[in-house]
Amino acid sequence: MSDSLGVAVIGAGMAGRAHAAGYRSAPTLYDQVLPDIRLVAIADVNEGFATDAARRFGYQRAETSWQAVAEADDIDVVSVVVANHLHREVVEGLLAAGKHVLCEKPFAPTIAEAQSMVDAAAAAPNQATGVGFVYRRSPAISAVRELVTDGAIGAPVHFNGRYWCDYAADPLAPMSWRYKGGPGSGALADIGSHMIDSAEYLCGPIVAVSGARLHTHVTERALPLGQAVGHSGAALSDVVEPVENEDVVTFTLRFASGALGTLSASRVAVGHPNSYGFDLYGDGGTAGFDMDRPSEISFVDSSTVGRTHGRRQVLIGPDHPFISRGMAMDFPGVGYGQNDLFVFQSRAFLDQAAGVPSALPPVPSFEHGLRNMKVMAAVVASAAEGGREITID
């Protein structure tokens, strides 16, 4: 184990700041000892964004290119949090420079680029790599997974998942890279990829997709006069460009176990700023989760009957995964939120990079990112063929 690890984040937007904050807090978690963690650099092509994020989260300097991060001898661990179409160049350049690389989801814009990144990681076996499916770090979702693995709800029968947002509901929201890239690169890739990951995390491999539909509600958007962070608004120019991808996607799944899934993702669901949730129905019980109430799950089985039979609230505290010694106040009834998930993810990846024992499961691999891409490709193919069932290798 080295004496220290230098950390950098490439991308100073909304998710990049979450990674930056996550690394800052990660060394405070659990009892295992990490090497000294040095917060070295935030990089972004917008120098103002990089400088502001570096100052805000306590990083030593700001950079304006990923190449500067790759060439820096004092940086060991890098999160790549840039537009999807840039992932391959940046990730492969960092791997060639000997860095440990955590890449945000969706993993790549195409399966071919995802495979290239997997191959690059395989050629660097001593470097930690992973994909940022951050909801795997949720203590509540992991508690549901335990209910599946220990048989508390029986065999999964039906998974009903939804990720509904409204960041694109306003037709005056400015054009950005999120609205470019063709079918499947919109709501499916941006938020549906998380739901696909959760479905497989809880129910096992998806073997087929059918009944897919992609819909674009806002068909064109104006270019901004300046630059905006994340989903924030901006003054608009008079230049209008077409939206190239979907605002809404719905589809069904068939799992290897025989269970079925119904999933939907929307970025135009008015009144739902970040509504991620699911219900998992087994042949002996049901469990549910909603990010609007992130520190609890709902659960029902046959242990109660009569007038008190029904779903009950289960608070996720220190007796559940990731909480004990994983929060500053790990006390029953003290909640957590989505920002905490990035801390858990950062700690897991630092443990991998340092080669130390971890209280957390490892971050999903590049191969998992490729797998997620294949499921999304099947969704797009099903939609293009009128909902026909598409099998997944």
Residues of the chain with CATH 3.40.50.720: 4-135
pLDDT band at residue 331 using 50, 70 and 90 as cut-offs: confident
Q: Using CB atoms within 10 A of its CB, is residue 36 exposed (0-12), middle (13-18) or buried (19+)?
A: exposed
pLDDT band at residue 350 using 50, 70 and 90 as cut-offs: very high
Q: What is the mean pLDDT of residues 194-204?
A: 98
pLDDT band at residue 225 using 50, 70 and 90 as cut-offs: confident
Judge whether 284 and 301 are in contact, CB under 8 Å.
yes
Dihedral angle computed from the Cα positions of residues 230, 236, 237 and 243, in that order, rounded to the nearest 10 degrees: 60
- In b/e form, how buried is each residue of 208-217, taking b as 16+ CB within 10 angstroms? bbbbbebebe
Q: Of 1-15, 53-67, 179-193, 263-277, which gets the smallest average pLDDT?
A: 1-15
Judge whether 78 and 100 are in contact, CB under 8 Å.
yes
Residues of the chain with CATH 3.30.360.10: 139-293+295-333+372-384
pLDDT band at residue 228 using 50, 70 and 90 as cut-offs: low
Q: Of 178-187, 229-238, 320-329, 332-341, which gets the smallest average pLDDT?
A: 229-238
**Integer Cα distance of 43 and 258 in angstroms:** 45
Instruction: Please report the pLDDT score of residue 232 as a whole number.
Output: 65
Strand partners, 38: 6
**Integer Cα distance of 86 and 277 in angstroms:** 29
Whether domain 4-135 has CATH 3.40.50.720: yes
* CATH of the domain spanning 139-293+295-333+372-384: 3.30.360.10
For residue 220, pLDDT beyond 80: yes
Q: pLDDT (tens digit, 9 = 90+) per residue, 236-284?
A: 888 999 999 999 999 999 999 999 999 999 999 999 999 999 999 999 9
| Token code pair at residue 298 | 């709902």
Q: What is the mean pLDDT of residues 338-366?
A: 95
* Nearest of 282, 293, 23 to residue 156 by alpha carbon: 282
For residue 1, pLDDT beyond 60: no
Judge whether 166 and 358 are in contact, CB under 8 Å.
no
In this structure, which amino acid lies at residue 345?
Answer: Q
Contacts of 71 (CB under 8 A, 6+ apart): 97
**Integer Cα distance of 186 and 166 in angstroms:** 13
Instruction: Please report the pLDDT score of residue 106 as a whole number.
Output: 94
- CB-side exposure of 162: number of CA atoms within 13 Å? 16
Instruction: Please report the pLDDT score of residue 253 as a whole number.
Output: 97
Q: Of 8-17, 121-130, 232-241, which gets the smallest average pLDDT?
A: 232-241
- Percent of the chain, pLDDT > 70? 97
pLDDT band at residue 393 using 50, 70 and 90 as cut-offs: confident
Judge whether 179 and 365 are in contact, CB under 8 Å.
no
| Token code pair at residue 76 | 């060991």
pLDDT band at residue 230 using 50, 70 and 90 as cut-offs: low
